[in-house]
């Protein structure tokens, strides 16, 4: 059975390869010609996908920039980016462009599944008209880059179709390579479940960040507080402080829920407040750094770990970016160190040494050599300040 996966990024590539490994004939479509050429040459652009694994799937997998390759696919899965625009509103432009490109090449009887994160109602109200009478389903992706325990195959998958036939076809498709697939009564239930999961994380991480600031003023170790609270066997789940939530999902997806809420006159005050707390984290740490150094003017500062989370090279929405730019605006001489990211915004990762006035830890990776800092002051945004 032929499958087309539209978008070969963090979500679409692992999905396409898992489907190929299960025996589907898979074409991965992407607009990015360099990415497609690299994929066909066995070069993986994603840390979690080893070149060897990609090459091993070449019997059933190939990448293409040509939407005409969708012809003949029985299942077409959309894995397109849904970021925020410059005004922090949902940006559905890539989603719409990809969906419209696919629509012209759908074969009779093709099932379309959307995996991209969207506002509740989007799949039914916006995508269904684009795909005419084709079966349509929604199944959110839950991939957690660099997570060694949970992956595409063992993370339970949620599915709902516009009609019963689409639901059962989608369940059947995923069941070949995902160990647990559950179906629900409507697409909107599953769209909202995805946004609930990520809003839950944003709200709780922002909450623990406020608690961390409280503990800092009280001169209490917040990590010890969390560890103490975590001994409660029920009703508590630990979240950990940080320089701010980054990445393409947690700081972004809740705004897709909030946008829909605004449209229908419902309120999302927790999400709004969590966004406010999250966005203010970098400026909060500029204040802490100023408190440590007196003035930031001409002070040499190294920001360590600029990726949005440890052990990935992804810098989307990283809190390190506003942190560095605010420190520079305050007159500090700032470099950054990140051996996984390496190059970023025309700058290279700087060496670690004891020659700085201050080191600020954002997301240090496994293997970051903090001993090289000697005895300089370290501001750890993860709760050690």
Ligand X SMILES: NC(=O)c1ccc[n+]([C@@H]2O[C@H](COP(=O)([O-])OP(=O)(O)OC[C@H]3O[C@@H](n4cnc5c(N)ncnc54)[C@H](O)[C@@H]3O)[C@@H](O)[C@H]2O)c1
Residue 211 within binding range of ligand X, rule CB under 6 A: no
CB proximity list for 26: less than 8 A, separation 6 or greater: 2, 3, 4, 5, 16, 17, 19, 20, 57, 60, 61, 62
Q: Are 261 and 232 in contact (CB under 8 A)?
A: no
Q: Are 319 and 243 in contact (CB under 8 A)?
A: yes
Helix (H) or strand (E) holding 113: strand 111-114
Signed CA dihedral, 118, 143, 37, 131: sign only = negative
Which residue, 222 or 307, has its beta carbon nearer to ligand X?
A: 307
114, β-bridge pairs: 78, 138
Which residue, 156 or 291, has its beta carbon nearer to ligand X?
A: 156
User: Does the active-site annotation cover 215?
Assistant: no
Residue from 22, 25, 32, 53 touching ligand X (CB under 6 A): that is 32
Helix (H) or strand (E) holding 361: strand 358-361
The gap from C-alpha 87 to its chain's centroid, in whole angstroms, comes to 19
Residue numbers 239-278 binding ligand X by CB under 6 A: 248-249
> At which residue do the structure tokens 């509103």 appear?
89
Which residue, 31 or 335, has its beta carbon nearer to ligand X?
A: 31
Least distance from C-beta 143 to ligand X, angstroms? 5
Cα separation values, 305 from 268, 338, 362, Å: 32, 5, 5
Q: Which stretch binds ligand X (CB under 6 A): 20-28, 79-87, 326-334, 353-361?
A: 79-87
Residue 143 within binding range of ligand X, rule CB under 6 A: yes
Residue 47 within binding range of ligand X, rule CB under 6 A: no
Least distance from C-beta 92 to ligand X, angstroms? 10
| Residue 231 φ then ψ, to 5° | -75, -15
d(CA 71, CA 66): 10
Cα separation values, 30 from 97, 143, 259, 362, Å: 12, 19, 28, 32
Least distance from C-beta 154 to ligand X, angstroms? 15
Q: Which stretch binds ligand X (CB under 6 A): 77-85, 119-127, 150-158, 349-357?
A: 77-85
Least distance from C-beta 230 to ligand X, angstroms? 26
Q: Dmax of the chain from CA atoms?
A: 69
Catalytic residue among 46, 249, 296, 361: 249
Residue numbers 81-140 binding ligand X by CB under 6 A: 81-82, 94, 97-98, 101, 115-117
Residue 7 within binding range of ligand X, rule CB under 6 A: yes
Least distance from C-beta 141 to ligand X, angstroms? 4
Pairing status of strand 61-64 against strand 75-78: unpaired
Residue from 2, 3, 4, 10 touching ligand X (CB under 6 A): that is 10
Which residue, 76 or 249, has its beta carbon nearer to ligand X?
A: 249
Q: Which stretch binds ligand X (CB under 6 A): 141-149, 217-225, 231-239, 351-359?
A: 141-149
Structure tokens at 349: 């990762």
Residue nearest to ligand X as judged by C-beta position: 9
Least distance from C-beta 130 to ligand X, angstroms? 13
Least distance from C-beta 339 to ligand X, angstroms? 22
Cα separation values, 100 from 95, 126, 132, Å: 9, 11, 11
Residue 6 within binding range of ligand X, rule CB under 6 A: yes
Q: Which stretch binds ligand X (CB under 6 A): 4-12, 103-111, 208-216, 355-363?
A: 4-12
CB proximity list for 351: less than 8 A, separation 6 or greater: 337, 372
Catalytic residues: 249
Interface residues with ligand X (CB under 6 A)? 6-12, 29-32, 35, 79-82, 94, 97-98, 101, 115-117, 141-143, 145, 248-249
């Amino acid at each position: 059975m032929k499958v087309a996966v539209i978008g070969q990024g963090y979500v679409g590539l692992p999905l396409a390869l898992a489907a190929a490994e299960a025996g589907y004939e898979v074409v991965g479509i992407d607009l990015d010609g360099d990415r497609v050429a690299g994929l066909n040459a066995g070069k993986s652009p994603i840390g979690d996908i080893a070149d060897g694994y990609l090459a091993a799937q070449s019997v059933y997998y190939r990448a293409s920039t040509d939407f005409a390759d969708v012809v003949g696919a029985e299942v077409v899965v959309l894995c397109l980016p849904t970021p925020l625009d410059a005004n922090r509103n949902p940006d559905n432009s890539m989603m719409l462009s990809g969906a419209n490109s696919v629509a012209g090449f759908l074969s009779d009887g093709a099932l379309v599944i959307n995996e991209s994160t969207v506002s509740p109602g989007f799949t039914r109200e916006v995508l269904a008209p684009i795909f005419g009478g084709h079966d349509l389903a929604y199944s959110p992706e839950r991939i957690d880059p660099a997570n060694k325990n949970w992956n595409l195959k063992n993370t339970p998958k949620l599915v709902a179709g516009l009609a019963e036939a689409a639901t059962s076809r989608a369940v059947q498709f995923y069941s070949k390579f995902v160990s647990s697939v559950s179906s629900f009564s409507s697409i909107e239930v599953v769209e909202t479940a995805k946004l609930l999961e990520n809003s839950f994380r944003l709200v709780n991480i922002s909450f623990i960040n406020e608690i961390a600031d409280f503990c800092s003023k009280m001169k209490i170790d917040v990590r010890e507080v969390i560890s103490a609270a975590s001994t409660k066997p029920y009703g508590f789940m630990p979240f950990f402080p940080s320089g701010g939530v980054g990445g393409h999902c947690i700081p972004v997806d809740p705004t897709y829920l909030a946008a829909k809420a605004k449209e229908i006159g419902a309120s999302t005050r927790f999400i709004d407040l969590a966004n406010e707390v999250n966005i203010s984290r970098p400026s909060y740490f500029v204040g802490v750094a100023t408190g440590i150094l007196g003035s930031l003017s001409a002070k040499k500062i190294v920001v360590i770990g600029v990726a949005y989370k440890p052990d990935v090279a992804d810098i989307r929405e990283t809190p390190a970016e506003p942190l560095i730019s605010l420190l520079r605006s305050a007159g500090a001489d700032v470099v950054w160190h990140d051996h996984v990211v390496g190059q970023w915004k025309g700058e290279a990762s700087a060496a670690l040494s004891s020659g700085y006035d201050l080191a600020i830890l954002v997301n240090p990776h496994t293997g970051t050599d903090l001993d090289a800092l000697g005895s300089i002051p370290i501001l750890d945004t993860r709760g050690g300040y």
